[in-house]
Structure 1
Amino acid sequence: MKINLLDKNKRKIVYDILNIFYDHSNIEFVEEGDIDILDDEIGFKGRSYHYQDNYQLKSTLYNILVKETGYESPWGMLTGSKPSKLLQKYRADELKEKYFLSDDKLSLLIDVKNEQDKLSFDKNSFNLYINIPFCPTRCSYCSYPTLVGPHHDRASYIETLCQEIDMVDLPKYLSSIYIGGGTPSYLSHKDLERLLDKVNQRFSSFEYIFEAGREDTLDEEKLKLLKDYGVTGISLNPQSFNERVVKSVGRSYDFDHFLRMYEKALDLGFVINMDFIVGLVGEDAKSFDQNFEILEKLGPDNITFHALASKVGSKYRENNKMGSVKDALIISEAIKHFTEKNSYKPYYLYRQKNIISNLENVGYQKNNTAQHYNIAINEELENIIGLGMNANSKLMNGSKYRNPRNLRDYFANIDRIVEEKNLIKRNYKNTRKI
């Protein structure tokens, strides 16, 4: 779709609506386009459509493209990453009318809110995120600045990370601790124990989650280490149980080993989450059913279904690869039926730019096992302090801090990093209203 846009400041607004209907590679901003967007008028196929503000620009353009393509997005023209926040501003019927939401997505938003309302959050509480930026291989859909392969100096990273843990200004007791990445379970047993021991020296929390995403980086000894050091939950993420699809994105696949790790984690008493991706190339709606069949037998506490987002820096984006939009919509419906049938309730939801079929990422839980950290960070309900390369910190007063995105700068500037981070923490403490 070619767009002639007079006001370049409206580019993002227009792009977000176009992206609901067209792949990013098929959207062009040109001098002479299929659609002309002027200061107060949209021209399309010989007709003029007037608008007065940005909302009317979005809604008018959305309705033009619905008629042109025959596709109505289940999220309507809603493109924001945190749609649940809109329920704080609008009644459900107002939200549906304003953004053209489907009944299913509106119901999903309400269900998420109802689950979150059962839990308590304190805007003055702190949560800790620790980033481990190493992976054995890079997945084709991944755009994160991870360090791939065994040749990186992971021991030196853990040494510097432990230094940051020692120096950061945080209370002893935290709402939650989350060790993510990357693939934290890719650490050696020695480095893993050193990290876990340092965390325990400094902090405690009622929730302690460790991202053990890839079964090929796990063994029983690592799982036992996690349990011994107080980890309460792990995320074990197959992304798909389709061997061909998993290998095609650059991950190893050993289902028997996965089952052994899952059974050991169950025996140790972890709350277990599993991640799946809707929209991987080669996995259609029919083959995705295999995931439901296996999940029904395993019955993990939490399941997170991610709709694939095309991200700059990923091999998928470079090669313009993404699964079928039509199949993604069918799978989304199947997820609804599967989770309802198996008593899973949605408890957090967020969306991303360039997400397939304009869908969403949803975490489901059963037996009251919702993860506090996931809600706190996605709904921005509590303070988050991030440690490690590329880790983000965000406080409830709006202050933000991002650690360096590469190892060299992280190693070289650790004292300054901690000083600046502690400064925003002190400023928050001095200005907050209790």
Structure 2
Amino acid sequence: MLIETNIEVNLRSIEEFTRVMVSELLEDKISFEVLKENNIIKIKVKSEKLNKNTEFSYEDLGNKIEDQVLTMCKISLLKLLDKKYDWGSLMGVRPTKVLRRLLINGCDYIEARKILKDFYLVTDEKIDLMETVVKKELELLDKEHINLYIGIPFCPTKCKYCSFASYEINGGVGRFYTDFVEALLREIKIIGDFLKTYGKKVSSIYFGGGTPSTLTEDDLERVLKELLENIDMSDVKEFTFEAGREDSLNVKKLEIMKKYSVDRISLNPQSFNLETLKRVNRRFNRENFDLIFKEAKNLDFIINMDLIIGLPEETTEEILDTLEQLKDYDIDNLTIHCLAFKRASRLFKESQERNIINRALIEEYIQKIVEEKSMKPYYMYRQKNIIEWGENIGYSKEGKESIFNIEMIEENQNTMALGGGGISKIVIEEGNGIDYIERYVNPKDPALYIRELDKRCKEKIEMFRKEKI
């Protein structure tokens, strides 16, 4: 792709937008002419290969839009090809950040809606979703605390769609399991000592992975006990353990979690179709799943379930059947994911063919179920390679929303991350709805995590100390 423009813009950003949103132009020569006059910004764009041109004009929105000229260059490419997407030009992972920025910079919801529709080209339906989510987020977002993430990078099997830090416990990397647990116990102590001197307390804790419930009963108790002994729990509002796979769970593990203050679990079937689950290398025993669910309810856990729409070869009818079976479970949260082909997943390497499914019918059925369960959307995010479907949405009963999910997606709080693949970050407000974010990544590989633990802890703590609280 060759780009010509009369002013300096971020060409790589335009190329990435083109790759995802208007790939027909990747082999083209595109010319942009940017004009500014009387508080109006005008973009003239021309395709040499297609011999087409168009214009896009809009008032200068000042601080309400980050780099408006660059954004308009991208939008003009959609207009050039008359492309219409539900999310318009919003390609990013966090569209709700756009709405929150508009509100921070003086827009009311009416003006923000107009900009989202007329400028960003978002449909009314998606704007409604954004408004619902943002209004709930604004009730719960909290800059005065931090969240704590603990990554356990082991699973019973590696699901084909997964790109997270995860290794099969019975595979070659599984030989590092014991030393990993010892290293994690040491990291909890090191970070716990630092947090005693840090100016913000922890408000939410989340065990992710991988599959944290891959930990043995003894190691699960050791890790949770060490955590409670070293982390100030006085301000913790929620403690989540992603016990996503029933083949890693038993009643004893649930009782241990409850004993050490875990109050939320995520129990994730992804689909109730056994053939679908076999195709993605995911074991599933319905009898054990139902037992675990019943015991989790008896122990009074807040329960989330995840489903993935669009798994390989799964038909509309099979998806609707899974949704129908979901009615039998009294869950507090439901997260609907749309399958994305991640470069690091086995599925990406094998095949990216998709079944044609009835999106409208499935979405209609999801809406029916969440209404029946008195759930409303409270967080959402997008991925570049699920463009034709839309978004991943978390639904919740009132008062059962996951604070951690909201803070992570909106990148509002600092995150202190421990364990394999954990991403720590500090978030510093710069003004006008823009934050400076610095990240520090723990190694995904357990062997490297073990070997570099002391060095990584020191560097991570130094990053946090740079922040002025």
**TM-score (norm: length of structure 1):** 0.89
Deviating more after overlay: 219-228 vs 350-359: 350-359
In 1: Cα distance, 2:70 partner to 2:356 partner: 27
Partner of 2:144: 124
Give, as a single letter, the amino acid of the residue that structure 2 aligns with 1:192. Answer: L
Q: Contact 1:75/1:358 (CA < 8 Å) preserved in 2?
A: no
Partner of 1:36: 29
Partner of 2:39: none
In 1: Cα distance, 2:357 partner to 2:145 partner: 42
Equivalent residues in 2 for 1:6-405, closer than 5 Å = 10-20=11-21, 29=26, 33=27, 35-40=28-33, 41-43=45-47, 45-49=50-54, 53-66=69-82, 72-90=84-102, 91-119=112-140, 121-150=141-170, 151-168=174-191, 169-171=194-196, 174-203=202-231, 204=233, 205-324=236-355, 327-328=358-359, 330-397=361-428, 398-405=437-444
Cα gap change, 1:315/1:328 in structure 2, threshold over 3 Å: closer, same or farther?
farther
In 2: Cα distance, 1:277 partner to 1:301 partner: 18
Q: Does 1:407 align with 2:440?
A: no
Give, as a single letter, the amino acid of the residue that structure 2 aligns with 1:101. Answer: V
Q: Contact 2:276/2:312 (CA < 8 Å) preserved in 1?
A: yes
Deviating more after overlay: 10-19 vs 369-378: 10-19
Cα gap change, 1:149/1:236 in structure 2, threshold over 3 Å: closer, same or farther?
same
CA deviation profile, 1:181-211 (whole Å, cap 9, x unmatched): 0001111111111111111111222210000
In 2: Cα distance, 1:21 partner to 1:259 partner: 45
In 1: Cα distance, 2:124 partner to 2:379 partner: 18
Q: Contact 1:278/1:328 (CA < 8 Å) preserved in 2?
A: no
Deviating more after overlay: 290-299 vs 324-333: 324-333
**TM-score (norm: length of structure 2):** 0.82
Q: Contact 1:135/1:149 (CA < 8 Å) preserved in 2?
A: yes
SS in 1 for 2:135: helix
C-alpha displacement of 1:36: 3.2
Q: CA RMSD in A?
A: 2.3
Give, as a single letter, the amino acid of the residue that structure 2 aligns with 1:188. Answer: T
C-alpha displacement of 1:143: 1.5
Give, as a single letter, the amino acid of the residue that structure 2 aligns with 1:176. Answer: S
CA deviation profile, 1:219-260 (whole Å, cap 9, x unmatched): 111111111111000000111111111111000121121111
Q: Contact 1:161/1:387 (CA < 8 Å) preserved in 2?
A: yes
What fraction of aligned residue pairs are identical, expressed as a percent?
A: 35
In 2: Cα distance, 1:213 partner to 1:66 partner: 42
Q: Does 1:416 align with 2:455?
A: yes
Q: Contact 1:127/1:383 (CA < 8 Å) preserved in 2?
A: yes
Q: Contact 1:307/1:356 (CA < 8 Å) preserved in 2?
A: no
Q: Contact 1:309/1:354 (CA < 8 Å) preserved in 2?
A: yes
In 2: Cα distance, 1:143 partner to 1:36 partner: 35
Cα gap change, 1:97/1:340 in structure 2, threshold over 3 Å: closer, same or farther?
farther
Structure 1 unmatched runs, 5+: none
C-alpha displacement of 1:379: 1.1
In 1: Cα distance, 2:25 partner to 2:220 partner: 48
Cα gap change, 1:329/1:157 in structure 2, threshold over 3 Å: closer, same or farther?
farther
Q: Could you tell me which of 407, 425, 428 is aligned with 2:464?
A: 425
C-alpha displacement of 1:127: 0.9
Structure 2 unmatched runs, 5+: 34-44, 58-68, 103-111, 429-436
In 2: Cα distance, 1:340 partner to 1:5 partner: 48
In 1: Cα distance, 2:275 partner to 2:11 partner: 42
Give, as a single letter, the amino acid of the residue that structure 2 aligns with 1:46. Answer: N
